[in-house]
Structure 1
Amino acid sequence: MSNLSKAEAQLRADHIRVFREELARLEGSGVLELSATQRDAINQHHDDLLASYAQAFDIDRNRHAKQLSLGMRIASFLGALALAASVFFLFNQYWGLFPTAAQLALMIVASLGSLGATFWVGRRDGSGYFARLVAMVSFACFVLNVSLLGGMFNITPSDKAFVVWGAFGLLLAYRFDLRLLLAAAIVCLIAFVAARVGTWSGMYWIHFGERPENFFPAGILLFLVPLLIRHDRFTGFASIYRVFGLLTLLLPILVLANWGRSSYLPFSFATIEYLYQVLGFVLSAAAIWWGARHEHSEVVNTGTTFFVIFLYTKFYDWWWEIVPKFVFFLIIALTAILFILVMKRLRAGALASGGGQ
């Protein structure tokens, strides 16, 4: 129990709930019949486990609690974004009214105060909802303070600020198991890596977005993180790394497949676009295969989405101008049906090979 994380405790509680439901069905259909002693022993064991989990963590013990928790997570997410935006606009509106000394004092108090408040709330909020709110404010204060300090002392803008912001976001994300801050930190680190790659090619770092290929190293690194570092004790962290890794690879490929002039490659624009179209199909199909093989549904869904986008953009290039519009959309509908049939066949094969597991 001491080494159990909240995610693992919640998973075990979900398994207990499903077991009880299935046991009731089996007994109701006459397939299985337990003695009163056996049933009481199982129920007592599960009740003791659930009580210990509820005491150590804020877990959902039934479906109703799980539904309410989902609503609270959504409210916490929206509240965190709104509170961070409120802090940003508060600084933006009144910052110029304070002298330099007062500005420095406010920045120090805002950063250290919000960070201390995050740790204080985190120790007292087992659910994590209020800790998420305060942590987002702390991150917003830190980002604002670094930016404002650079402006106050006329410091040349640097891509290294993304490293500082990303590191702070990772600290809070891993300390309090916050996926929202992990996503924010990942975005900062993606920007830093892309900017570094851009400067190595000779461009000024702030223009790194003009070359989509600058993002490829960051995408590869992100996808490798959950393969090299286990995240069993952090809820959904591995999935976030994988999704952001795929997005950082596939979105630039999608841009280059339709806008070859932004590439580093020394070929004609048409050749570059063709190469990236092929790469987009291959990489998205590989993501579907790999995600299905390793049971990562987020990888399958991301790969499927981009495969369909690449396919439909090609349909548009081939047929939009030369066929009637109803024929064009009929082709898309038939392609969707074919895709469903193929995925259904793959699913049946996977179930057969896995013995129904």
Structure 2
Amino acid sequence: MQIQSKTEAQQRADQIESFRAELGIIEREHVVTLDTDQQASLARYHSQLLDRLAAAFDIDATNQEKQLSFGMRITSFLGALGLAASVYFLYFQYWGGIATKMQVIILVTMPILGLVLTMGAVRLEKSGYFSKLFALVSLVCFVLNLSMLGQIFNIAPTPNAFLIWAMFAFLLAYAADARLLLAMGIISFAAFLSAQAATWNGCYWISFGERPESFFPAALFLFLVPLLPHRRYTGFAIVYRVFAMLLFFLPVLILSNWGTVSYLELPKEQVEYLYQIIGFVVSAVAILLGIRKGWPEVVNTGNTFFTLFLYTKFYDWWWDWMPKYQFFLAIAMTAILMLLVLKWMRHASIRQKGEGAA
């Protein structure tokens, strides 16, 4: 199998480690015993393969290396935040004493310099720690670029700024394989598309957050993006799906309790009932789809919001008249019932896999 990304290389290394552990157990229990030549050949093959993967993708071949890499990721993230904050406050510390022409030159140059450093780090360093650090600083400089140029030249605020920030964040995220920058790009793009949706419905774009339904187009678009191949990028498909579900379910949860903020010209109670039904149905469908497709993040998010919708209705129905011990007992019994249903679904899935293998 040809390995094309660091994610696939790390998965292969983890498989080798698991295989070695399982083989050791099997040999100790005398199920299978390899002779000396077979053991040496297998060990040599794995060692050479791990060396090639480490040279090509800078993977973690042992648990100790994984722990060190985790610490390095945290350190890189903190360093990036510190450097970005330093750049931000440096701008405002000396900004007033700089001529306008020099301000424009600095604002235009800094994001370009950050992008060049990011691309250089991507080419020279396989681990990606410095590339992610430079990428975050570059994005901060770019956001400051548009914001402060708008102030210098008195440009009216526009939702197009969110689109430009999103495009630059996506560029950096895919170049540096950085999920944090991908999340920032998704948030910016969702803000842009939601502002456009609010404008299409006759609202001023800054007020897009007051109409939760404005986020639905962004949620749909982001959920469809991972249908494109993302094998080379670590966890990008998961980030897209989680943000898409949050952008859908959070507005539905709000609308199911406060129907007055809806675009629908219906009585408040009808809007709330409608979105309560939508919330229950779509969250249940998300659980089933996640199980079918093997998307645990979709299952967990759908399960979380199904529970929230259910408990919200319990509060509306029972809190005012039911004794509190009975209310919480009902919640506990419902949780147990849901646990039994999910357990049954798990066993059914395992049984179906076994029948398919047979």
TM-score (norm 1): 0.96
Secondary structure in structure 1 of the residue aligned to 2:354: coil
Q: Structure 2: 5+ residue runs without aligned partners?
A: none
Alignment match, 1:347: 346
Distance 1:204 1:234 in 2: 37
Measured after TM superposition, the shift of residue 76 of structure 1 is 2.7
Aligned-partner residue type, residue 193 of structure 1: L
User: 5 Å matches for 1:100-249?
Assistant: 100-227=100-227, 229-249=228-248
1:263–1:100 CA distance, 2 compared to 1 (3 A): same
Distance 2:71 2:61 in 1: 16
Q: Deviations over 1:14-49 (max 9, x none)?
A: 111111111111111111111211121111111111
Q: Deviations over 1:109-138 (max 9, x none)?
A: 322222222122222322111211111000
Secondary structure in structure 2 of the residue aligned to 1:264: coil
Distance 2:80 2:272 in 1: 40
Measured after TM superposition, the shift of residue 66 of structure 1 is 1.6
1:320–1:131 CA distance, 2 compared to 1 (3 A): same
Alignment match, 1:22: 22
Measured after TM superposition, the shift of residue 78 of structure 1 is 3.6
Q: Deviations over 1:267-323 (max 9, x none)?
A: 110110111011111111111110111111111111111111111111111111112
| Between 100-109 and 259-268, the greater mean CA deviation after superposition | 100-109
Measured after TM superposition, the shift of residue 3 of structure 1 is 5.6
Distance 2:208 2:88 in 1: 25
Q: Deviations over 1:160-190 (max 9, x none)?
A: 1111111111111111111111111011110
Aligned-partner residue type, residue 123 of structure 1: R
2:297 maps to 1:287: no
For these two proteins, the number of residue pairs brought into alignment is 356
Structure 1 moving runs of 4+ over 4 Å: none
Distance 1:288 1:71 in 2: 34
User: 5 Å matches for 1:26-45?
Assistant: 26-45=26-45
Measured after TM superposition, the shift of residue 2 of structure 1 is 7.7
| Between 107-116 and 278-287, the greater mean CA deviation after superposition | 107-116
Aligned-partner residue type, residue 39 of structure 1: Q
Distance 1:323 1:82 in 2: 52
TM-score (norm 2): 0.95
Q: Deviations over 1:238-292 (max 9, x none)?
A: 1111111111111110110111001011111011011101111111111111011
- The answer as to whether partners of 2:122 and 2:175 remain within 8 angstroms in 1 is no
| Between 35-44 and 213-222, the greater mean CA deviation after superposition | 35-44
Secondary structure in structure 1 of the residue aligned to 2:232: coil
Distance 1:96 1:312 in 2: 54
Measured after TM superposition, the shift of residue 11 of structure 1 is 0.7
Distance 1:348 1:97 in 2: 69
Q: Structure 1: 5+ residue runs without aligned partners?
A: none
